[in-house]
Amino acid sequence: MKNMQGSCHCGAIVYEIKGKHFAADYCHCRSCQKITGAPISAWMDFKVEQIKWLDELPKEYASSEFIRRGFCDNCGSTLTYRHINHPEYITLSITSLENPDLAHPNYHIYTESSVTWLDINDDYPRFLQGKK
């Protein structure tokens, strides 16, 4: 597989991915809704060593006791999600890819927070909270 590349909206933060993600999901949680301004987010999971930051790193903040969310402090683009108890993994926003069609979510998480006005008609597994 060819390396994938992605960036924030303004291009200040650029990354390259070696290899394929090991999971990809649609997240309906309230935190993702508020951070992205969208009713649903699309994420892909990697081992940290698969990601190479080509210039600047995302700025992070603690959105909860164990979660750190990364963004561009210039344009505000949402880029990363990581759990501090699992430092070997990082989650990237699929829509930050130069070609977001290269990663496709295949399950939904935190559907207990789904907005009622968005109708999604796929057959992917749905989890009320995180995938166990």
- 132 within domain boundaries: no
pLDDT on residue 26 = 97
pLDDT on residue 3 = 85
Residue numbers of the domain that contains 60: 4-113
pLDDT on residue 132 = 67
Q: What is the mean pLDDT of residues 16-23?
A: 95
Number of structural domains in the chain: 1
Average pLDDT, rounded, for the chain: 95
The model carries a pTM of 0.92
CB burial class (10 A; 0-12, 13-18, 19+) of residue 122? Answer: exposed
**CA-closest candidate to residue 24, choices 1, 46, 51:** 46
CB 2 within 8 A of CB 84: no
Task: Quick: pLDDT tens for 42-93.
Answer: 999 999 999 999 989 999 999 999 999 999 999 999 999 999 999 999 999 9
- 124 within domain boundaries: no
CB 120 within 8 A of CB 105: no
Measured CA to CA, the distance from residue 57 to residue 80 in angstroms comes to 10
pLDDT on residue 58 = 97
CATH code of the domain in which 80 resides: 2.170.150.70
- 29 within domain boundaries: yes
Residue 1 has pLDDT above 60, yes or no: no
